[in-house]
């Protein structure tokens, strides 16, 4: 398969890029590696995804029930906030990302960002008044400092 595939031959692959989309599609259909991937995808669609899709509604309902039960049993425990009441589990390295040129999102939330998400009385997003006052004061000091700086210019 690998020996007969244009995907593993750099020269053949680059040459293919000069062809029309129709020619590329035709060549891809006859490529043994593309055929293998198509067969794997068809098998997943026929045998795995059909069963998964049939069960996903029940799975989501059970997840909500599980989280609700966790919160009732462990009332003193703080659960991480999320948007859809699902249990969050993660691993790996946390990094920012660039969704488009000239835009970069940091992998953390600032104090101002926390205040922006504040919802009074909400278990996950309520904030102490003192915290909000400190952030507001810091923001005001920063704005005044910037005004002073700009007036010097």
- Listed by start position, the domains of the chain span 6-73, 97-152
pTM of the model: 0.37
pLDDT tens digit sequence for 14-33: 988 889 999 989 988 999 99
- What distance in Å separates the CA atoms of residue 52 and residue 104, rounded to the nearest whole number? 36
Find, among 110, 112, 108, the residue nearest to 139 by Cα. Answer: 112
Q: Bigger pLDDT: 148 or 47?
A: 47
Per-residue confidence (pLDDT) for residue 91, from 0 to 100: 65
> Residue 153: pLDDT band by 50, 70, 90 thresholds?
very low
pLDDT at residue 148 greater than cutoff 60: no
Beta carbons within 10 angstroms of residue 31's beta carbon:
19
Cα–Cα distances (Å) from 69 to 37, 63, 64, in that order, read 42, 10, 9
| 3-class DSSP state of 42 | helix
> Residue 112: pLDDT band by 50, 70, 90 thresholds?
confident
Per-residue confidence (pLDDT) for residue 34, from 0 to 100: 92
Cα–Cα distances (Å) from 2 to 5, 31, 34, 39, 68, in that order, read 5, 10, 11, 16, 50
> Residue 36: pLDDT band by 50, 70, 90 thresholds?
very high
pLDDT at residue 101 greater than cutoff 50: yes
pLDDT at residue 146 greater than cutoff 80: no
Per-residue confidence (pLDDT) for residue 73, from 0 to 100: 92
pLDDT tens digit sequence for 38-96: 999 999 888 888 888 888 889 888 888 888 898 899 888 876 656 665 556 666 778 88
Cα–Cα distances (Å) from 6 to 26, 61, 85, in that order, read 12, 46, 46
């Amino acid at each position: 398969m690998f020996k007969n595939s244009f995907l593993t031959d750099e020269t053949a692959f680059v040459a293919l890029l000069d062809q029309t989309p129709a020619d590329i599609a035709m060549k891809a259909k006859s490529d043994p590696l593309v055929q293998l991937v198509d067969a794997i995808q068809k098998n997943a669609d026929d045998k795995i995804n059909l069963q998964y899709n049939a069960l996903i509604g029940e799975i989501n309902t059970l997840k909500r029930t599980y989280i609700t039960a966790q919160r009732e049993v462990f009332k003193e425990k703080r659960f991480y906030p999320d948007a859809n009441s699902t249990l969050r589990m993660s691993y790996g390295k946390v990094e920012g990302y660039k969704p488009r040129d000239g835009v970069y999102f940091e992998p953390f939330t600032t104090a101002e960002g926390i205040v922006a998400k504040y919802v009074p009385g909400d278990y996950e997003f309520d904030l102490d008044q003192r915290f909000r006052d400190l952030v507001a004061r810091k923001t005001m000091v920063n704005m005044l400092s910037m005004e002073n700086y700009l007036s010097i210019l």
